[in-house]
Amino acid sequence: MGIYEKGFERPSPIQEESIPIALTSSDILVRAKNGTDKTAAFCIPALEKIDQKQSILAESKLYCSHAYGTILLIVSI
């Protein structure tokens, strides 16, 4: 199931600006009000970079809990 099935119809303005830059593996700094989908702007490019053949362990569940919630919205588990 893709992100469109999860309710993502079009990128927010912050996503439109930041995702193409993040996909080039460049460092980015994004500042916007709460509720502008900044977390998805980070998570979508991060998911694109995951090598599913490698096993990765998070250092801390607390460290990635906010991103984890957004990723659950994006991908089907």
* Exposure on the CB side of residue 56, measured as CA atoms within 13 A: 11
Give per-residue pLDDT as tens, 45-71.
888 887 667 665 555 655 566 677 777
The reported pTM is 0.60
Mean pLDDT for the chain?
78
Give per-residue pLDDT as tens, 19-40.
999 999 888 888 888 888 888 8
- Greatest CA span in the chain, whole angstroms? 36
Place of tokens 């990723």: 71
Place of tokens 């193409």: 20
Question: How far apart (Å, rounded) are the C-alpha atoms in residues 63 and 21?
Answer: 24
Q: Which domains does the chain have, with CATH numbers?
A: 4-74 (3.40.50.300)
